[in-house]
Chains A and B, each alone.
Chain A
Amino acid sequence: MKPLDDELRDLMRHQEPPEGFAERVMARIEAEPRRLTPQQRVSTLFWRPMLRWVAVAAVVSVVAVGGISRYERQKRMQAQAERASQQAMLALRITNAEIYAALERAQHVAMRALEVRRNLKPEME
Chain B
Amino acid sequence: MSKVAEQAVEEALGRCAVGDRSAFAEIVRAHQSMVYSVALHFLRNPSMAEDLGQEVFLELYRNLSSIKSGVHLRHWLRKVTCHRSIDRVRRGHGGGMVSLDDVPEPATAEQVRDPLMEQKLWRLVSSLPDKARMVLILRYQEEMELREIAEAMEIPINSVKSSMDRALGLLRAKLARSMGGVKV
A residues in contact (CB < 8 Å) with B: 1, 3-5, 7-18, 21-26, 28-30, 32, 35-37, 39-40, 43-44, 47
Contacts and interface: CB of A to CB of B under 8 A. Distances in A.
Contacts of B34: 14
B26 to A, nearest CB: 9
Interface stretch (B78-86, B101-109, B155-163): B101-109
Nearest to A37: B65
Given A7-B184, A17-B32, A40-B19, 12 more contacts: A1-B182, A4-B175, A8-B136, A12-B41, A12-B141, A13-B37, A14-B34, A15-B36, A16-B107, A24-B54, A44-B18, A44-B19
Nearest to B31: A22
Nearest to A39: B65
Given A21-B32, A36-B19, A12 B37 contact: yes
B28 interface: yes
3 shortest interchain CB distances as A-B pairs: A17-B36, A12-B141, A16-B107
Nearest to A45: B18
Interface in B24-70: 24-25, 28-29, 32-34, 36-37, 40-41, 46, 49-50, 53-54, 57-58, 61-62, 65
A107 B50 CA distance: 115
Contacts of B53: 17, 21, 25
Given A4-B172, A37-B65, A18 B46 contact: yes
Contact of A26 (B28, B37, B103, B184): B28
